[in-house]
Chain A
């Protein structure tokens, strides 16, 4: 059996160079070990005999690059992942942000729409949609298109609904979805309020400034250390004083200037507040 875990540094460089030329996306910014795994996984799923065969095909077949990019980005896992986090964030939204005249929110690097949709549910059930301006951005056009449509398969719905119930909710998530024949579709009424933009977080300017909340959980995992630092600096600068940043449980602000400028406000969850 061919070893589907092997990709040479030279092959990796060729893939990165090809993608940069065709789609202006810099895969060199991604965490090397994860990028290699994504490429090898793609080769396996597409039925290539070896990773080398895939690399050869990628550099000669431009149409394959687009399929490759759809699969290389890492989607979020489920709605209401880490229910305890959402309980804490909902408390902050209710106790702190609801007093604001307007709430400006940014969800960068969407891929899969679970985090965005969860946020929309939280805002909706607290009657705050009318004062919220929400930006959702990604450098992957496909991620934006998918998020606008927001189809959810039944397995993901079950997992997400169970998470929702862990938030001590008496209701089902179904009230925020439309049931189609094979899928669920997230409420278009809520998605209509979102401003979707194509934006590369590491090199483009943020979609706006003065955010009250930036929801950025588990997205920096996929950037290498240098890019992560750049991205977190940008994110921190985009918050207003007193604004909140949410990261994933497995993340922190170590090795960035932001660890001085932001204070963790939750004992367990990685929710930070920009100092005044």
Chain B
């Protein structure tokens, strides 16, 4: 089992919906989405993702157990941690990198919880959130990839990750989808 953790900000929504629309109903791996979003808009986002996904997509409640084949979207105005006992922990701590949810927080906790079974994917975005988390994932033995900066609407996030760590793959979104479809 792999634990797929995707982070993104400005320009990533379209890529995420495309990824979700291309994954089969039988995709067995849990997926965590940490996407920067407006804090006071609590509804609409998860519903929009559900329209495109064959997998169940939901905003988890605190202490919710992680299930195979489910997609967990970090709720607005909460950080989303992954606990070592394979549950989700939400938090209202201070923003990190001006963000709540912060991609670094989700990535680092997933890296510590899942180690070599963690697959981190960083998409388009306008700040550096996620770069450090991706590095931590790599340091803990996980596999990391970034969306090709050439394809990103805003490349700051992926460029920051490439700068501080040795990413395993720099992929176009079609390659990311293909990689996920073949993930065993």
Contacts and interface: CB of A to CB of B under 8 A. Distances in A.
B and A form one assembly: yes
Interface in A64-87: 74-77, 81-84
Contacts of B90: 221, 250-251
Interface in A47-77: 74-77
A248 interface: yes
B93 A250 contact: no
B109 A33 contact: yes
A221 B92 contact: yes
A221 B89 contact: yes
A218 B83 contact: no
Given A221-B62, A221-B92, A37 B81 contact: yes
Interface of B is mostly: loop
Interface string A1-19: 0010100000000000000
A255 interface: yes
Nearest to A253: B61
Interface string B49-88: 0000000000111111000000000010110011110010
A33 B84 contact: yes
Contacts of B91: 31, 34, 74, 221-222
Contacts of A255: 63
Residue of B61, B94, B136 contacting most chain A CB atoms (<10 Å): B61
B158 to A, nearest CB: 20
B108 A250 contact: no
5 contacts: A3-B139, A31-B91, A82-B42, A218-B92, A255-B63
